[in-house]
Every structure is written in structure tokens, then in C-alpha cells.
Amino acid sequence: MAPPTLVALILGAGPNIGSSVASKFASAGYKIAIASRSGGQTGGNNGYLSLKADFSKPDSIPALFDAVKSEFNTAPSVVVYNAAGLTPPPDNDSVLSIPVDNFVADLNLNTVSPYVAAQHAVKGWETLPSDVKKSFIYTGNILNTLILPVPMMLTLGVGKSASAHWIGLADATYAAKGFRFFYVDERIADGKQKGIAIDGPAHADFFAQLAEHQEGVPWHATFVKDKGYVKFE
């Protein structure tokens, strides 16, 4: 009997983390679907299914899962949410000067769309063989545990914090089914934030480890390059 086709769906396929993760999972034998605002043609030089989506609009998410099922005749066992956005306040002296429409759009991008993606991931996982590991991996940062006194971080921090909560709760409540949910946060060795220096290949290596459901790694998956999971207070 042929082994099942494994598919990784990467939502937010940028040139750093997104492309590194796609390459890593492809090298591990996964079929790859990538989705980004710009989209592209199916296939291409790398053989990926390339899809177009506006992640500030949660209703764009279901069609991505339909496209994956149509292309590969199976649901993705690994779903990576790597899209994010923020809106700087027009008045730097007033963090609450961000227009409500921008606040809502960023909340959709950072929290609501990944929530919808997780819903559809679970629906797909119910159709996969029991021995296939199922993982939802969200690219987070330190903002779920640290409030930085930087006004432009408001909508990003709100979104990351909200997503961390539902991801942690989902991981706890779907544990009996073997479904894992991870909020990933790269740190430097002393536990401080990595910031804009985040490492794409390091994320790819760690995501691949998470997809194997390594023991001892919780939903709040803080990691250090070349070390893997490291628990920080």
C-alpha cells in the first residue's frame, strides 16, 4: 500500500521564513502549497502550488484549502500561518490614534484569518489517516508576553496576544486527537527578542521538528537557532 501524500500549506510565503519553510518541507517529501498576496502560477520551477490571498480578509481562506484538496486530492497535514501586519499610529504621541478600520484589518490579518485557517485545518485532519501527524504552526514573536513601549507595535501585539490564547487552548483541547498547535517565537540565547533579525532557515528547521511532534515541546514554542526548543520564563 502506497504511503499517504503529505501536504504542507504555507500561508504567507515571503522570501525569508516562508520560502525557507517551503524548501525544508519539500526536501522532506511534502507536496507544497504556498499562498501570498501576490500569488503566482501553479507549479513553476519549484513545483509548488502557488495561490493568491488577501489575509486581511478571512473569507479568502476557505478557497485555499479547497484548492489544495483539488490539486493534491488530500488535505494538508501541516498548516503554517506566516502572515502578519501592523499599522503605525498617525500620531506618534497617541497610540490610540490608529483608525478603527486599520485596527480591524490588522486583527483580521494577525488573528481572525489564522483562526479560520485552523478551523479548516481541523476539518481536513479528520479525513486523514490516524498515523499522519497533524500540525498547525503560527509564526509568533515575543509580543504575547512582553508589552513594548513602542506605539507602532499596537495592532501587531494585539493580534499576536489574541492568537497565542486560542492556539494554546486549541492545543490543549485537541490533544486527545493528536492535533498539535504551536505559537513559535524565536529568541536569542538569553531569552530576549530576536526582533527583525529572525532567521528563516532556523524557523524552517524548527517547524520541521514541530511537525514530528517531538516530546516536551509545548504550544508556546520558544526556540533558539541551532538549539531548538528552549523554555524561557
**pLDDT, one tens digit for every residue, the chain (233 residues):** 667 899 999 999 888 999 999 999 999 999 999 999 887 544 455 889 999 999 999 999 999 999 999 999 999 999 999 999 999 999 998 999 999 999 999 999 999 999 999 999 999 999 999 999 999 999 999 999 999 999 999 999 999 999 999 999 999 999 999 999 999 999 999 999 988 889 999 999 999 999 999 999 999 999 999 999 999 97
Q: Is 116 helix (H, G, I), strand (E, B) or coil?
A: helix
Q: Does a structural domain hold residue 96?
A: yes
C-alpha cell at 65: 484549502
Measured CA distances, 47 to 15, 33, 71, 163 (Å) = 17, 9, 12, 31
**Total of domains in the chain:** 1
- State the pLDDT at residue 76: 98
Measured CA distances, 226 to 133, 200, 223 (Å) = 23, 12, 9
Q: Does a structural domain hold residue 1?
A: no
Which sign, positive or negative, has the C-alpha torsion 39, 43, 117, 166? negative
Q: What's the whole-model pTM score?
A: 0.96
Q: Which residue has the cell 538549539?
A: 227
- State the pLDDT at residue 233: 76
Q: Which residues are catalytic?
A: 160
- Give the Cα separation of 170 and 35 in Å (integer): 23
Q: Does a structural domain hold residue 2?
A: no
What CATH number did the domain enclosing 183 receive? 3.40.50.720
- Give the Cα separation of 40 and 5 in Å (integer): 23
Q: State which residues form the domain around 152.
A: 7-229
Give the pairing type, strands 179-187 and 49-52.
unpaired
Q: Does a structural domain hold residue 145?
A: yes
Measured CA distances, 146 to 113, 141, 196 (Å) = 23, 9, 16
